[in-house]
Structure 1
Amino acid sequence: MPDSDLENRPLLDRGRNAIRRVGSVWGGFRDFILRDNVLEIAIGLIIASAFTTVVNSLVADIILPPISLLADQSFSENFLVLRHGQNASAHYHTFQQAQDDGAITWNYGHFLEKLIQFFVLGLTLYALGQLYQLFSSETVIKYTMKCPICRKDISTSAKRCPFCTSWQDGSNMSNHD
């Protein structure tokens, strides 16, 4: 449609067309956001975020302080100075002092703290999965084994390997027909 024709169309007609397009976009967004699985994922992410906060607090506030007592400083304050900052003769007592001076540091204590948080989170999630299985018929934790033929990981309850199709009881296919 040429520009001159567009200018000649009534303003009201162009407004209706714009409202129709916005309504179509809004309807598509509403259909997407209100799907069951999107809401389930959103709720799961919120719960996971809160759960992670609790586990991180468990590590930082309960587990690491006794370990820090052995080192006479906060666990995350363990660092090595790789290159001094502007004040080359300075001895840094805290990571913040080194950072303020512009020093380059290797923050192994902070890394170890995050590593401990990761393992405690994994262990806690595994324990929750085991607890859930006690009260539910559904399995959360799927146990696997190696197929003796193709060496791929398969379910321990598999009767037949989904990769190489071998029977897991050692018999040949003619016995299972």
Structure 2
Amino acid sequence: MSHESFLEHAPSVIRKAKSVWSDFIDFVASDNVLQVAVGLIIANGFTKVVQSLVSDILLPPIALLPFIDRNFEEKFVVLRKGPHANQTLAHSAGYNTLDQAAADGAVVLAYGQFITNVANFLALGVFLYLIARVYAVFTHKTIISRTVRCAYCRKYVSEKAKRCFNCTSWLDGREERETSAL
């Protein structure tokens, strides 16, 4: 492509680039994208608060129980020792920390971290449910909608729906009355 040919097409390329940029700005500035972005930022902060609550407040007192000798996150089982286990562990019964086992290349089952993650998940779910209930009390709008199963396709449908969104059958039993009348 010659230099003159490039200059001939430059205005249309610039016009297309401006159009793409304008469309992108319209998309980013739309209400839905901004609402989702704000929601994700708030959710990230809320998740960190709940994780701190579980890891720093709830689990440490449980770690004081006599049969638990360390913090939950440090509970692990060695499935296979690392290559330097005999040199490193000559004077002790095993790895003292998860980091020590990982540094030696040992294969470990970190069940303490799993317990912590399950506790975080359950606490997050409970707090989100409580927030939804408090929101419903103050605004008289429900976030948690009750559902029923469609008798035909077995999908969950809003309790207030008149027809199933999946199979379009009537949820008030209208179809059963029509077929039994025949």
Compute the TM-score of the two structures, normalised by the length of structure 1. 0.82
* Code of the aligned partner of 2:109: W
Q: Which of 40, 45, 49 lines up with 2:44 in the alignment?
A: 49
Q: Closer, same or farther in 2 for the Cα pair 1:29/1:108, shift >3 Å?
A: same
Equivalence for 1:172: 177
1:22 paired with 2:17, answer: yes
Q: Do the aligned partners of 1:81 and 1:104 also contact (CA within 8 Å) in 2?
A: yes
Q: Which of 4, 8, 29 lines up with 2:4 in the alignment?
A: 8
Q: Do the aligned partners of 2:162 and 2:170 also contact (CA within 8 Å) in 1?
A: no
Q: Do the aligned partners of 1:55 and 1:117 also contact (CA within 8 Å) in 2?
A: yes
Equivalence for 1:153: 156
* Code of the aligned partner of 2:3: E
Q: Do the aligned partners of 1:82 and 1:103 also contact (CA within 8 Å) in 2?
A: yes
Q: Which of 29, 33, 40 lines up with 1:38 in the alignment?
A: 33
In structure 1, C-alpha distance between the alignment counterparts of 2:33 and 2:39, rounded to whole Å: 10
Q: Deviations over 1:55-98 (max 9, x none)?
A: 11111111110111121201011100010002333210110110
Q: Closer, same or farther in 2 for the Cα pair 1:20/1:155, shift >3 Å?
A: closer
- Output the aligned Cα RMSD: 2.6
Q: Which of 122, 131, 135 lines up with 2:134 in the alignment?
A: 131
* Code of the aligned partner of 2:4: N
Equivalence for 1:85: 82
In structure 2, C-alpha distance between the alignment counterparts of 1:20 and 1:149, rounded to whole Å: 54
In structure 2, C-alpha distance between the alignment counterparts of 1:142 and 1:75, rounded to whole Å: 36
Equivalence for 1:94: 97
Q: Aligned residue pairs: how many? A: 169
Q: Closer, same or farther in 2 for the Cα pair 1:159/1:20, shift >3 Å?
A: closer
Q: Closer, same or farther in 2 for the Cα pair 1:59/1:39, shift >3 Å?
A: same
> 1:160 deviation in Å?
5.5
